[in-house]
Amino acid sequence: MTIYIDPPSWPGHGRMWSHLISDLSFDELHAFAEKLDVPRRAFERDHYDLPAHRYADAVQAGAVEVGSREVVRLLHASGLRRRKERGPGLSAAARTRTSPGPRPPE
């Protein structure tokens, strides 16, 4: 049962961010995030985005510090990696497989 965190080196919304992951299960990851009072809306596909000012809190709570490449390697090795859905550049066959359904009118 291990939770990992990479350094806060990802910019967004005027802040730097870390990724918080589990190599075991999403249940483990959600429980750890809840213990830190990280809102569920910070969960994106297979990780939590954690602002730099919360990095030390996560480490103090038991998250293991690893590099960003190691986060990706651990997610792949665990089978928990969920890739981003691609946009309109996909082939027709791929769009059919990944399409969530018809879009509402704009």
* 80: number of Cβ within 10 Å: 18
Domain map of the chain by residue range?
3-84
The neighbouring-strand residues paired with 54 are none
What b-and-e string marks burial along 29-58, b requiring 16 or more CB atoms within 10 Å of the CB? Answer: beebbeebebeeeebeebbbbbeeebbeeb
Residues 19 and 6 sit within 8 Å (Cβ to Cβ):
yes
Q: Rounding to the nearest 10 degrees, give the CA dihedral for residues 61, 67, 73, 78.
A: 0
* Assessment of whether the complete model's pTM goes beyond 0.85: no
User: Does residue 85 have a pLDDT over 80?
Assistant: no
Q: Which residues contact 79 (CB under 8 A, 6 or more apart)?
A: none
pLDDT of residue 95: 42
Q: Residue 32 — pLDDT band, cuts 50, 70, 90?
A: very high
Give pLDDT tens digits for 5-28. 999 998 999 999 999 999 899 899
